[in-house]
Amino acid sequence: MKIDLKLFVTLSKYQPENSKGLEIAEETTVEKLMKDLGIPSELVKLIFINGKMQKSKYRLKHNDRVGLFPPVGGG
């Protein structure tokens, strides 16, 4: 199955070249996707799937749009 993946800010260095239409196995969770891409879980603060916040245990579905964000500071 395929997903669209976008990694933001400091996570962009983990962005695969084929992130639009990225092929993944059925039953893949966000947690497994991060592990497969070598992204340490402590670097990911927010997970958005199709514009809605989700947990890392979320099972991805065909054509999901995945956005991963690091902790964000400001002030």
Cα distance between residue 13 and residue 44, in whole Å: 13
Residue 11 belongs to some domain of the structure: yes
17 falls within a domain:
yes
Q: Are strands 2-7 and 65-69 parallel, antiparallel or unpaired?
A: parallel
Whether 74 maps to a domain, the answer reads no
Look at the chain and report how many structural domains it folds into. 1
Give the integer Cα–Cα distance in Å for 3 and 75: 34
Share of the chain above pLDDT 70, in %: 97
Which tokens is 47 given?
């997970």
Q: Give the percent of the chain with pLDDT over 90.
A: 93
* Residues in CB range of 75: below 8 A, 6 or more apart: none
Q: What value does the mean pLDDT take over residues 17-39?
A: 97
Residue 27 maps to which CATH number? 3.10.20.30
75 within domain boundaries: no
The pLDDT value recorded for residue 72 is: 81
Looking at residue 75, what is its pLDDT? 64
Q: Give the max Cα distance, the chain.
A: 41
pLDDT at 19: 94
For residue 62, the enclosing domain spans 2-69
* Whether residue 41 has pLDDT greater than 80: yes
